[in-house]
């Protein structure tokens, strides 16, 4: 696109970058100036999930079927999920060390592993380098809900900051301040919900220790990121949203996923809303 507008194409050339197949391949004839920069790549450690993350991971992994196409976010809970997956899984969007470990354990099926970006340890970058099993593609492809819906048993696993009694999800803001970009979570939620056998899972802890408050709330005080995924999963349990009435959704959110310290208040608000 820049070439068509007569722009100058300047490329940073870093020998530490892995050579990854896919849409990131650029022909040297398209480059006007190459700037050599020998710099270390940013890395992300792979901390061991704590007990709450492992509890959530157990519940999520038990719902993922053989042959599923999986999208997971980054963090302790997704890592805990990936560590306990069944065999014969395909993945999409973000590639992390947990995906590398799946491949090394021969848990992934024989389809090409696709993503749109990668972040992790030096071992991940070594695994990516010239790996014929991996393709990094433009997010217009990996995050296209129509393409996602065409994948077998597409399953998205994402986290959130809050979920309210109406099944609305806030994954981006704390009050009026942006905490995290939307990313691909909404794309994969829509795609997974339209995939035959697909499901969209929102995972989070039931209590936010720093804010000292419940993550299951009566109504959101921040903009809505998504509405009514398949299920909400916390260390307390699972709330089945898809296919249930508003009242049943609220009941399951309170009884199955909310922290015990928040349930009395949530029941009071549910009655005020006509949900109980």
Instruction: Give the list of residues 6+ apart from residue 84 with CB closer than 8 angstroms, or none.
Output: 57, 58, 61
Contact 211, 219 (CB under 8 A): no
DSSP notation for 26-64: --GGG-SEEEE---PPP----PPP-HHHHHHHHHHHTTP
Q: Catalytic site residue 126? A: no
Q: Which of 87, 93, 104, 235 is catalytic?
A: 93
Tell me how far apart the alpha carbons of residues 182 and 222 are, in angstroms, rounded to a whole number: 13
CA pair distance 276, 255, nearest whole angstrom: 12
Q: Tell the residue number behind the tokens 């997956």, with chain if given.
A: 85
Residues acting as catalytic residues = 93
């Amino acid at each position: 696109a820049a070439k068509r507008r007569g722009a100058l194409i300047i490329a940073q050339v870093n020998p530490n970058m892995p050579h990854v197949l896919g849409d990131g391949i650029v022909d040297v004839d398209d480059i006007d100036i190459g700037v050599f920069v020998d710099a270390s790549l940013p890395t992300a450690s792979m901390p061991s999930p704590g007990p709450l993350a492992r509890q959530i991971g157990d519940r999520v992994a038990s719902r993922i079927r053989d042959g599923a196409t999986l999208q997971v976010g980054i963090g302790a809970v997704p890592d805990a999920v990936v560590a306990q997956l069944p065999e014969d899984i395909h993945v999409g969007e973000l590639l992390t060390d947990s995906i590398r470990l799946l491949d090394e354990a021969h848990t992934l099926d024989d389809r090409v592993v696709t993503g749109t970006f990668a972040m992790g340890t030096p071992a991940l970058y070594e695994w990516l380098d010239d790996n014929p099993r991996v393709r990094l593609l433009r997010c217009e492809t990996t995050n296209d809900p129509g393409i996602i819906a065409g994948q077998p048993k597409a399953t998205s696993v994402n986290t959130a900051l809050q979920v309210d009694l109406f099944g609305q999800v806030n994954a981006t803001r704390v009050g009026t301040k942006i905490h995290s970009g939307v990313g691909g979570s909404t794309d994969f939620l829509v795609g997974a919900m339209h995939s035959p056998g697909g499901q969209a899972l929102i995972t989070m802890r039931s209590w936010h220790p720093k804010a000292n408050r419940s993550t299951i709330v009566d109504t959101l005080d921040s903009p809505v990121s998504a509405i009514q995924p398949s299920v909400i999963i916390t260390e307390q349990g699972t709330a089945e949203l898809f296919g249930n009435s508003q009242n049943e959704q609220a009941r399951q959110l309170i009884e199955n996923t909310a922290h015990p310290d928040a349930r009395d208040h949530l029941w009071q608000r549910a009655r005020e809303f006509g949900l109980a």
